[in-house]
Structure 1
């Protein structure tokens, strides 16, 4: 498969570095380096090879990741998965110019403001839809801390495929509840309905006091990724989402 190419000014503008005019000025000032040499002609087309970020520098720093990036973030408490809402946003945790990238970086589904844990972000629209598609049955594992002890029948009900949430008429797909303590459990779901986990426990008369997503597919949030931090995923790690 042939490696795609792009004009330098168009590439850098799409990555949020500035306008094409600004990129031309930066190049003339020696701010763009490719393979150790100043690149002064921003109309030049270059190959968008995977190693380009390690070969190109912008103002002395390595080039940002090319389009097609996928990252995991440890979403902190109190942040919103939105570009537009008021208050603290998960996108505030990324470099400022990344808010100007085209295609834009989006969250893969959402975690509500009071939910923490593994959040995926990407600028690859096709991948995003593959992950969230109900046909893929990608499992999401949540750890829930509950206000009241479990009564014992919740696991069978959640696994039955017969639970209907309030305000809906279609039963939920079977989900797996694993009890850790009387007031703590993990719940594995393969759907992404609005506030699904919280509403499932509400349906059995309980209340979720804390909710944390631990895993998506076979991709687990690592212990060494603290809240508010993120890292890019390799192709092998992305493949784990569908494993």
Structure 2
């Protein structure tokens, strides 16, 4: 999702259904303000979080929102779906205006899902240059051993995309469980990597994204707002 930037005169003209000439008159008569500051030119840039006031009336006032959801199986990582319950459907009582999912999980995967209305934040989170680590607990149908570790560390050739995956860290926890850490997120990447060993993934559970860990107190389908530290961890650690 892209941050919605644009000119103040275009926004006000559309919002009030008036010609842009009238907007310029409002500016000249010192009746238009952005974030408490008087607008001086018609081409002043705004975004979806700008506080816009005209003649004492608020035309736009939107707060940034950041949520973590403990996604259950059978819930689709989408804003709208005609067949399945969506992640946004679970955010009961929350203003869903401009909310989108930052880093999806497939239908049967579970765990940490991040939802926000801040497009710039989610872009920093998901951009390949940011190299934010995502950690997953994986349960396999067949036994695994140390040979998997080297294969994941070397990266794997994905013919469909024509790329070799970045090195991934695999830690064997038991015969049928492993912890996988990735800095990218190709389509069904973990399932495809284990598929090279003809070993189907039975369960895939995301535990963390960067320094944001799934809250142990959240039951399946429950959510909470991110803390200030969690929000800023993405801004600090992302390199874009």
In 2 relative to 1, CA 84–46 (structure 1 residues): closer, same or farther, beyond 3 Å? closer
Asked whether 1:234 is paired with 2:227, we answer yes
Match of 2:71 among 71, 75, 88: 75
In 2 relative to 1, CA 222–3 (structure 1 residues): closer, same or farther, beyond 3 Å? farther
Residue 38 of structure 1 corresponds to which residue in structure 2?
none
Asked whether 1:183 is paired with 2:176, we answer yes
3-state SS of 2:120 partner: helix
Q: Compute the displacement of 1:83 (Å).
A: 2.2
Asked whether 1:98 is paired with 2:95, we answer yes
RMSD: 2.7
> Which whole-Å CA distance do the structure 2 matches of 1:3 and 1:170 have between them?
46
Contact 1:140 1:190 in 2 (8 A): yes
Residue 44 of structure 1 corresponds to which residue in structure 2?
57
Q: Compute the displacement of 1:128 (Å).
A: 0.8
Mean alpha-carbon deviation: is it higher for 172-181 or for 144-153? 144-153
Long gaps (5+) in structure 1:
6-13, 15-41, 49-65
The total of aligned residue pairs comes to: 188
> Which whole-Å CA distance do the structure 2 matches of 1:97 and 1:213 have between them?
23
3-state SS of 1:239 partner: helix
Residue 205 of structure 1 corresponds to which residue in structure 2?
198
Cα deviation, 1:72-125, whole Å, max 9, x if unaligned, reads 1101111001123221111111136634x1xx1000021001000000000001
Match of 1:112 among 83, 106, 111: 106
Long gaps (5+) in structure 2:
1-32, 37-47, 49-54
Regions of 4+ moved over 4 Å: none
3-state SS of 1:214 partner: strand
In 2 relative to 1, CA 139–160 (structure 1 residues): closer, same or farther, beyond 3 Å? same
Residue 185 of structure 2 corresponds to which residue in structure 1?
192
Asked whether 1:127 is paired with 2:118, we answer no
Q: Compute the displacement of 1:192 (Å).
A: 1.2
TM-score (normalizing by structure 1): 0.70
Contact 1:67 1:124 in 2 (8 A): no
> Which whole-Å CA distance do the structure 1 matches of 2:58 and 2:145 have between them?
64
